[in-house]
């Protein structure tokens, strides 16, 4: 270690942090690199004062008082590796971070640093000279040292795995960037009215800015399940944007009369302490959407919710063009016996890939409500297009109800009446 220290200090000055880190960053625990560096420096100074020939640039001993040696020591230039980051700049960054965090609610944080190339190159140069066996990288030290200072000032914890805030210290552009972890709130909704989508439908022509096509609204529907649910949450969290994650969706003109699980993600929340009971009460003032069981969850539940495949039971009220021959209805039972093959429906072909789906109708029952009017109860696997099961979609869904009944549908009114949760 002494040899290595002489090698790297022979023609240059290193601060305690850098000296300790490159020589012994991986040795001993419970002390900082600054202390490691100071111990090594003082040991060299002992040797020097005792008359040993220590081959280092003497500015490395600046500030140390020798008893035997009579030498005049000049003030060192800046640290070869960190350019005096630890001595002069770290506090400024910490101050800037604290300023930037004002008004944001969080209980833990992570620090990441983008280090200047010249500093990384200087450190690599030292590594080439003495090896990296016991060294730690400057990036790790900066992250930790800023973290320690912030923990003290903010009284909050450094958190590696799931920090509520990630602080990126960009030394290259001398900027601080914050990444705030979204809030994820689980719930279950019912959709009680028809005529609005699940997610906010941004106008594709203007991407939300407002144009003639969307009448200046920036979106194609005045509201959505997402907007109804997000409204009180965005307000409380002082956030601007959300995303809704659901397993499947009902058509715009369909209702959903059973509770459908969802997760609403609130992006960049400035506040995280939210009374979900009050939020639920606010949302449920809506006549269109009701929610229940709101609770905070972890991000990984999004994947699980989105991939869940649940059977659904639909009520499908069909008005046919001609009167329905009742004796033909029992032929519909064939739908339970063979899989339904569906090419991507014409109505969604513009936004979905063209392919053929195979889904199973588990149960079909019916109630005759009039000469031309029948209510079907259909239980099907997740992903079966129900309207197309009725109409046949110009031969793209086979078999289908209209073909079996040799009739055509004039009007279809659809509700999800049961979601078979696992």
Span interacting with Zn ion, options 78-86, 99-107, 141-149, 183-191, rule CB under 5 A: 78-86
Query: In this complex, which beta carbon is closest to Zn ion, that of residue 117 or of residue 293?
Result: 117
Closest approach, Cβ 218 to Zn ion, in A, equals: 6
Total binding residues toward Zn ion, as defined by CB under 5 A: 11
Span interacting with Zn ion, options 164-172, 200-208, 299-307, 365-373, rule CB under 5 A: 200-208
Query: In this complex, which beta carbon is closest to Zn ion, that of residue 168 or of residue 206?
Result: 206
Q: Which of 154, 202, 211, 310 is the binder for Zn ion (CB under 5 A)?
A: 211
CA 177 – CA 313 distance, rounded (Å): 48
Closest approach, Cβ 23 to Zn ion, in A, equals: 12
* DSSP bridge pairs for 398: 341
Torsion region of 218: left, alpha or beta (phi above 0 gives left; psi -120 to 50 gives alpha): left
Say whether residue 24 binds Zn ion (CB under 5 A): no
What is each CA distance from 377 to 65, 237, 314, 357, in whole angstroms? 93, 42, 6, 21
Q: Which of 107, 205, 235, 410 is the binder for Zn ion (CB under 5 A)?
A: 205
Q: Which of 8, 40, 79, 294 is the binder for Zn ion (CB under 5 A)?
A: 79
DSSP H/E element including 290: strand 289-296
Say whether residue 414 binds Zn ion (CB under 5 A): no
Half-sphere CA count of 244, side-chain side, radius 13 A: 25
Query: In this complex, which beta carbon is closest to Zn ion, that of residue 94 or of residue 318?
Result: 94
Q: Which of 206, 220, 243, 257 is the binder for Zn ion (CB under 5 A)?
A: 206
CA 48 – CA 44 distance, rounded (Å): 6
Q: Which of 110, 130, 203, 318 is the binder for Zn ion (CB under 5 A)?
A: 203
Among residue numbers 227 through 286, which ones bind Zn ion (CB under 5 A)? Answer: none
Residue 202 is given by DSSP the state B
Angle at CA of residue 165, ends 83 and 118, nearest 5°: 20
Among residue numbers 3 through 22, which ones bind Zn ion (CB under 5 A)? Answer: 15, 18
Say whether residue 214 binds Zn ion (CB under 5 A): yes
Query: Which residues carry out catalysis?
Result: 251
Half-sphere CA count of 167, side-chain side, radius 13 A: 29
Query: In this complex, which beta carbon is closest to Zn ion, that of residue 218 or of residue 339?
Result: 218
- Using alpha carbons only, how large is the chain's radius of gyration in Å? 34
Closest approach, Cβ 16 to Zn ion, in A, equals: 8
* Close Cβ partners of 395 (under 8 Å, ≥ 6 residues apart): none
* Close Cβ partners of 108 (under 8 Å, ≥ 6 residues apart): 156, 157, 158, 159, 163, 164, 165
Query: In this complex, which beta carbon is closest to Zn ion, that of residue 216 or of residue 383?
Result: 216
Q: Residue numbers of the site for Zn ion (CB under 5 A)?
A: 15, 18, 79, 81-82, 203, 205-206, 211, 213-214
């Amino acid at each position: 270690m002494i040899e290595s220290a002489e090698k790297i200090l022979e023609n240059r000055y290193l601060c305690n942090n850098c000296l300790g880190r490159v020589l012994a960053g991986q040795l001993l625990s419970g002390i900082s690199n600054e202390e490691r560096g100071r111990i090594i420096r003082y040991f060299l100074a002992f040797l020097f004062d005792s008359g040993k020939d220590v081959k280092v640039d003497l500015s490395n001993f600046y500030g140390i008082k020798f008893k035997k040696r009579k030498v005049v020591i000049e003030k060192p230039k800046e640290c070869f590796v960190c350019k005096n980051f630890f001595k002069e700049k770290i506090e400024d960054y910490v101050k800037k971070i604290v300023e930037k965090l004002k008004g944001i609610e969080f209980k833990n944080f992570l620090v990441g640093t983008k280090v200047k190339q010249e500093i990384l190159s200087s450190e690599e140069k030292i590594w080439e000279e003495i090896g990296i066996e016991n060294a730690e990288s400057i990036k790790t030290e900066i992250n930790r040292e800023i973290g320690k200072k912030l923990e003290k000032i903010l009284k909050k914890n450094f958190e590696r795995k799931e920090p509520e805030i990630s602080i990126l210290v960009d030394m290259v552009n001398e900027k601080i960037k914050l990444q705030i972890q979204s809030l994820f709130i689980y719930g279950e909704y019912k959709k009680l009215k028809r005529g609005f989508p699940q997610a906010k439908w941004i106008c594709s022509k203007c991407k939300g800015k407002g144009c003639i096509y969307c009448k200046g609204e920036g979106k194609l529907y005045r509201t959505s399940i997402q907007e109804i649910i997000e409204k009180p949450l965005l307000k409380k969290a002082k956030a601007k944007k959300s995303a809704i994650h659901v397993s499947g969706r009902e058509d715009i003109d369909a209702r959903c009369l059973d509770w459908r699980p969802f997760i609403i993600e609130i992006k960049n929340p400035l506040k995280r302490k939210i009374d979900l009971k009050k939020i639920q009460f606010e949302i449920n003032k809506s006549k269109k959407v009701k929610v229940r069981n709101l609770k905070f969850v972890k991000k990984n539940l999004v994947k699980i919710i989105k991939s869940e495949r649940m059977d659904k039971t639909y009520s499908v009220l069909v008005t046919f063009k001609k009167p329905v021959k009742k004796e033909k209805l029992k032929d519909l039972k064939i739908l339970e016996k063979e899989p339904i093959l569906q090419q991507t429906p014409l109505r969604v072909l513009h936004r979905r890939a063209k392919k053929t789906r195979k889904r199973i109708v588990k149960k079909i029952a019916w109630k005759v409500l009039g000469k031309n009017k029948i209510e079907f109860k259909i239980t099907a696997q997740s992903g079966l297009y129900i309207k197309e099961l009725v109409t046949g979609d110009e031969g793209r869904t086979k078999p289908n109800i209209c073909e079996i009944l040799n009739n055509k549908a004039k009007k279809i009114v659809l509700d999800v009446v049961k979601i078979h949760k696992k």
